[in-house]
Chain A
């Protein structure tokens, strides 16, 4: 059974601090997806990581993928309140649909 595990599930951090969210998955996959969800809202695509070693950055967020370790990270730099949301990673196991982790609820406080 495919497992997509995110760590931590809850994260409270101060503005200006750095932190990393981890996403481990149990199946072979050469690409991984990160989404953001605000409370009660839809999922917004953040990053599509297409190959081993892929790194993508958008503002204060940077995502990377290590397919050999089956690990992706989402690094937050100098957090601001607007980054407060739930972040999901997801993979496509063969012949199936996007399988999501449980999500990391991030709260950035002053």
Chain B
């Protein structure tokens, strides 16, 4: 158990809908990262927050957004869902903002039908 908690584990939703994925980092970790894993794209970095502030942005679509709250948990919001958004979404956390070991949650498997 990495100490990073993600909910829900599984999510099935229809195209056009909006979902929210939640992540609680390890105790003491200030940095949260979101990744998308699909068969054809591999592990794609989406966005990083550090102590409540956006730190780095990767290949995140405009339909997706995230935030980190004062208690350091983070949410990833996915809207106007398309079939191609079906993937495993991972959250990871680390002590510092970069170049430190990151620990991954169990992931949320999103299926868009």
Contacts and interface: CB of A to CB of B under 8 A. Distances in A.
Interface of A: 31, 33, 35, 40-45, 48, 88, 92, 94-103
B98 A43 contact: no
Task: Decide if the interface of chain A is mainly helix, strand, loop or mixed.
Answer: loop
A96 B101 contact: no
A31 B100 CA distance: 9
B42 A102 contact: yes
A45 B43 contact: no
B24 interface: no
Given A35-B104, A42-B90, A97-B48, 16 more contacts: A40-B109, A41-B106, A42-B2, A43-B104, A45-B102, A48-B101, A96-B56, A96-B58, A96-B98, A97-B98, A98-B33, A98-B45, A100-B42, A100-B43, A101-B42, A102-B42
A42 B45 contact: no
Interface in B1-40: 2, 33
Contacts, number: 51
Given A98-B45, A102-B42, A42 B106 contact: yes
B81 interface: no
22 contacts: A33-B101, A35-B104, A41-B106, A42-B90, A42-B106, A42-B107, A43-B92, A43-B104, A45-B101, A45-B102, A48-B101, A92-B98, A94-B98, A95-B98, A96-B45, A96-B56, A97-B33, A97-B58, A99-B45, A100-B42, A100-B43, A101-B42
